[in-house]
Amino acid sequence: MRMYDIIKKKRDGGVLTSAEIEAFIEGYVGGEIPDYQASALMMAIYFRSMTDEETALLTDAMARSGETVDLSRFGNLSVDKHSTGGVGDKTTLIVAPILASLGARVAKMTGRGLGHTGGTADKLESIKGFRTSLSVEEFISQTEKIGIAVTAQSGNLTPADKMLYSLRDVTATVDSIPLITSSIMSKKLAAGSKNIVLDVKTGSGAFMKTEEDAKILAENMVRIGKKCGRNVSALITNMDRPLGFAVGNALEVAEAAKVLRGEQKGDLYEVCVALATEMAALSLRLSPEDAKQAVIKAIADGSAYKKMKDWISAQGGDTACIDDASLLPQASFKKTVYAPCEGFIEKMDAEAIGTAVVMLGGGRLKKEDTIDYAAGIILNKKTGDYIKSGEQLCVLYTNNEASLVSAEAKYLEAVSFSQREPVFRPEIIEIVR
């Protein structure tokens, strides 16, 4: 089977067979197919797209290109969540303990932050002693004992995806729905959970800027996940403003703990309850109404917060940091940003606010960049709030005093004001089942 013929077939609008897709993935990962032929196929797929059957075959082949995790011992109880990335998105820190406290099994492999979006692994590493590197044996054993384990992605998990994404990134073929779907879903399949809930974000701080694009991606991932034998649903959620009030690693850990202690409601609570409800409905086979009541009760009675501390302790973290946020990394410098005028906050460019956090040291522009875990922003006001001139908008935190001026300027660029109360989208835009 020649790679030339596979490229030509897709270039001309043909439908690739299972054997052709397998041959491509095996050959590319094995070093037999050069980058220039792989990039030619990616470009052909970009223009000609793929059928659902082709996308499912590609997803499955990519998932099997490296190590896979076997969670079959947990039956239908295993559940995973994936977010397409946002600003202030600490939902894993909240929904995972909720689900584990209800009896589900959350075995999650997670990534690090890059660019304006944060990463769960970085947030967890702001907790003293927390280990984000677990062996497969530790990963499964901990999931069995306490119902939850979160580890940084294995180096040999879906190598095909790593290789192809690096290629797509430099050949202008990232924005292809079949290729995005296979990239995300192959990692979820390899991680082993029977049930998968997707948080597809849309808006200024999201990869999918429009609701239309987010819906297309959500529907595609749900269909492909089901074709690959998993129970999948997706929530399309609003990312036109940061989620919650904290943006930055240690600050987000502290906020997640507040939500689980029942001390904070608002948009973050709403999104987490919706995600956890969907995860509980799938993994515990509950009606949406019963699942929601169970989720709310797990927060209210403290069982989810206790499970969070059990999880942190099991992975070597200091649980005193969860009870007392002052024991988390603290910034040497802070700066309060004041409103330059009076009015309603009409819009917040979430991506720009995420960039301001990176400027403070709380994120990465390159994979090798180091993180200042204490850096970030606490928002005092958000879209829709009325504010008077000179009132506090937010507080910036960093260990690099020189970054405060530029970060403040970036934040102020991100916020616009109006004399009329704005109308903005709900947090949960749609559920795709």
Is the confidence at residue 153, as pLDDT, over 90?
A: no
Is the confidence at residue 111, as pLDDT, over 80?
A: no
pLDDT at 216: 95
The one catalytic residue in 60, 80, 89, 161 is 161
pLDDT at 169: 86
pLDDT (average), residues 340-357: 95
The one catalytic residue in 105, 108, 123, 168 is 168
pLDDT at 134: 92
- Known catalytic residue: 161? yes
pLDDT (average), residues 196-210: 93
With beta carbons less than 8 A apart as the criterion, state whether 192 and 229 touch.
no
- Known catalytic residue: 204? no
- Known catalytic residue: 183? yes
With beta carbons less than 8 A apart as the criterion, state whether 48 and 10 touch.
yes
The one catalytic residue in 82, 116, 258, 381 is 82
User: What is the distance between the alpha carbons of residues 218 and 235, in angstroms, rounded to a whole number?
Assistant: 8
Is the confidence at residue 174, as pLDDT, over 90?
A: no
Share of the chain above pLDDT 70, in %: 99
With beta carbons less than 8 A apart as the criterion, state whether 232 and 221 touch.
yes
The one catalytic residue in 83, 183, 193, 403 is 183
Is the confidence at residue 365, as pLDDT, over 90?
A: no
pLDDT (average), residues 320-334: 97
Is the confidence at residue 114, as pLDDT, over 90?
A: no
Element (H, E) at 387: strand 386-387
Q: Per residue in 299-318, pLDDT tens?
A: 999 999 999 999 999 999 99
Is the confidence at residue 33, as pLDDT, over 80?
A: yes
pLDDT at 116: 77
User: What is the distance between the alpha carbons of residues 381 and 360, in angstroms, rounded to a whole number?
Assistant: 20
- Known catalytic residue: 187? yes
Confidence of residue 75 (pLDDT cuts 50, 70, 90): very high
Share of the chain above pLDDT 90, in %: 89
With beta carbons less than 8 A apart as the criterion, state whether 336 and 143 touch.
no
Among 149-158, 219-228, 295-304, 306-315, the minimum mean pLDDT is found in 149-158
User: What is the distance between the alpha carbons of residues 72 and 67, in angstroms, rounded to a whole number?
Assistant: 15
Q: Per residue in 123-149, pLDDT tens?
A: 999 999 999 999 889 999 999 999 999
Instruction: Look at residue 2 and give its three-state secondary structure.
Output: coil
The one catalytic residue in 187, 215, 382, 410 is 187
pLDDT at 366: 73
